[in-house]
A and B are shown apart, each in its own frame.
Chain A
Amino acid sequence: MPLIELNQVSKIYTSGNQQIAAIDHVDLQIDAGEFCVLAGPSGSGKTTLLNLIGCLDEASSGTIILDNLEVSRRTVRQLADFRLHNIGFIFQSYNLIPVLTAEENASFPLLLQKVAKPERIQRVGELLHALGLQGLEKRRPRDLSGGQQQRVAVARAMATNPAVILADEPTANLDSKNSSDLLQMMRTLNRNKGTTFVFSSHDPMVIAMADRVIQLHDGRLVSDSHQDSVA
């Protein structure tokens, strides 16, 4: 039983009288524990596909099955709950909450899960430490570098131990050192905890580090291949 299953999924955007198929009849299965990259040029539909998998967006047609249940059968509330407990997101532009400190940002999903404060602090403290952010717990996002903010975002995605982490061009705003550090961290988590990773990129160096490369073009899945990852 795959963890993520897409059957003939399409996402059509209508702008004016023009219809754009951002995702065009995609079939895809991802198993638990996979470490795969969505590759493709700009506008090929990577973000759209990740949003569909992450239940942030609804497909125009086709079915998406997560954890043995069709997404479209869930209510808005159930979807929010499902995201909270099963999916971690890492966004290209970090997307931290500006009024909260690094620690508070990282523990936000735990707050939503109603985890008690001492436990939140402890769990996130360990994560931040592992991500090399010790000493920066009380800083606001604007007082952190891009790489540090991205690591806080990673900590937030990891805090709830989700089954899947979806990352949309997580390295796009990072230099090559920070990029490969981030990829290493993701890889470690994938190996140690079996967390499934689906991330998008058009950086060949990043793509080379994945086990599986899913290539998109104009919304269509053009190739899907396993490789020996560099990492």
Chain B
Amino acid sequence: MSKLFPKCPKCNTSHFISFLKHAHYVCSKCGYLLRLDAAIRVKMICDKRSFTQFDENIRSLDPLEFPKYRDKLDKSIKETKLNEAVLTGTCRIKGFPSTIGVMDPRFIMGSMGSVVGEKITRLLEYSLGNFLPSVIIILSGGARMQEGILSLMQMAKTSAAVKRLNDNHLPLFTVLTDPTTGGVTASYAMLGNVIIAEPNALIGFAGPRVIEQTIGQKLPQGFQRAEFLLEHGMLDMVVQRKQLRSVLGTLLKIHSQRPYSYH
């Protein structure tokens, strides 16, 4: 793919990169929201130079000695120059301090193994220790198969960390982007105190193909898309990408006040 003229993966139209950037990586022809590298997302959401990364040196091992996993990890690290599928740190959004986690589509489809689970948990624990709200921008194919049961248990670990946060009156805001499926949806993604989704994002527990195979029928139009989830009461709002930073800023602002302080 040309770096100067990237193509929309949906309609194949080439866009001049600076126009695309200006349009928040939304295709002007067909409206498709391009998947964003974590670093680009950080720039889009956080105040300038406010992001400080932590835990950047935690790396995945291959505890199951799963076929080809080591190669897959090495390739992802080389291609993304990231150590894992999530960036975590502290930042400010419209002046309000927060922790932030951003998942990256290029790293084994943002799947959650031990490291993603650990980094998300540490982010939530850091928020707890420093009385900060948390924002997590989610993009994930689910639990990482290659780490087997260890991946599954990250769902329990991260969900318990959200509970501790909430028990101490600290909020989590989740932004569900395309795709948010499997074990990540069934843990911290759906535990946001406010849950936001990007337009048309695929969000669900089971993948559409698995459902089709199980029930032996075609899925209805728009099934498991953000607007469908909103309609079924699973989300608070669907927000356009260009409004996201401002909506998050307002949420942080409102939650920074506690007019009736009972503790």
State whether these chains interact.
no
